[in-house]
Amino acid sequence: MAYNLLQNKKGIIFGALNDKSIGWKVAERAHEEGARFVLTNAPFAIRLGSIDQLAEQTGSEVIPADVTKIEDLSHLLKRSQEILGGKIDFILHSVGMSPNVRKKRSYDDLDYQYFSQTLDISALSLHKLLQTAKKMDAIADYGSIVALSYIAAQRSFYGYNDMAEAKSLLESIARSFGYIYGRSKHVRVNTVSQSPTLTSAGSGIRGFDGLYDFTNRMSPLGNADANDCADYCVTLFSDLTRKVTMQNLFHDGGFSNMGMSARVMGVYNKLLENIIPDEW
Ligand SMILES: NC(=O)c1ccc[n+]([C@@H]2O[C@H](COP(=O)([O-])OP(=O)(O)OC[C@H]3O[C@@H](n4cnc5c(N)ncnc54)[C@H](O)[C@@H]3O)[C@@H](O)[C@H]2O)c1
């Protein structure tokens, strides 16, 4: 159901690679809610993915930008304002990539060149985006910037590797810049800490299927999927959340406040009965 929550709002949406991407679902929901926006992704991802289909579906233009390059970000912000006819009301930063994860380097055997690329793409890029936008005065009063995070920023999760550091840094940048940008221009900056979600980035994580099942059984509401995430992001872009800033907002069906659930305990006890001999 649509509520016209984003009528007259102009946005930029990063990270729609294919129809599984969270960025893709956010674009579809934002379109339903009346927003107009520009879609962006890295040039290689535009070639490999299916963003043109989304652009057609939502009446949007696609502007390539490597999120680590300031000149690409300035061009994106300038062109977006020209295309949309004014300052930007909302931005979704839905970007993450770890070469260490891709190359299957374990956390105690990291390549440090890769590690800096992980941090640059997945976290520093938010700072670069905000700093560039602020210098250009490209965001409207009470504009809303949302970046996507994961609970491995706070707790240790096997297999998440150096993306954990990237997400901690991302959340910290949202707080620090949220203060600076809120004070001077009322611009809001938040991170949404999302459940494991079946996308290209998600399924790159080692042991993802087990993790997905575990968090689903642990959360009283079950995992939040990409469509749920899109609904939540739309509320954060809307005027209904004008005083929400500098927050890391868990969107995970309750997982972050759980210790043990009956559904997980059931599976665990069953395993113990079957594989652990009585004398243990
Ligand atoms: N899938 C999950 O389980 C999950 C859970 C929590 C948070 N997240 C976060 O959600 C966000 C979106 O991920 P997703 O799951 O939709 O996967 P996805 O692979 O569809 O999206 C990641 C996007 O990052 C883009 N990207 C990579 N390098 C880039 C660069 N240099 N410049 C510009 N764009 C670049 C990719 O092209 C891709 O579109 C990421 O920040 C991810 O960490 C995902």
- List the domain boundaries for the chain: 10-275
Which residues have C-beta within 8 Å of that of residue 146, sequence separation ≥ 6?
Answer: 90, 91, 92, 93, 190, 191, 192, 233, 236, 237
Is the predicted pLDDT of residue 6 greater than 60, yes or no? yes
Query: 277 pLDDT band (50/70/90 cuts)?
Result: low
Is the predicted pLDDT of residue 209 greater than 70, yes or no? yes
The radius of gyration of the chain from alpha carbons, rounded to an integer in Å, stands at 19
Question: The tokens of 265 are what?
Answer: 């305990």
The pLDDT mean for the chain works out to 96
Ligand 1 pocket test: which of 18, 19, 22, 168 has the largest number of ligand atoms within 8 Å of its C-beta?
22
136 alpha carbon – ligand 1 mean position (Å) = 26
Query: 225 pLDDT band (50/70/90 cuts)?
Result: very high
125, 95 in Cβ contact below 8 A? yes
Ligand 1 pocket test: which of 12, 14, 21, 248 has the largest number of ligand atoms within 8 Å of its C-beta?
21
What pLDDT shows up at residue 279? 59
What is the value of pTM for the model shown? Answer: 0.97
What pLDDT shows up at residue 119? 98
Architecture of domain 10-275: 3-Layer(aba) Sandwich (3.40)
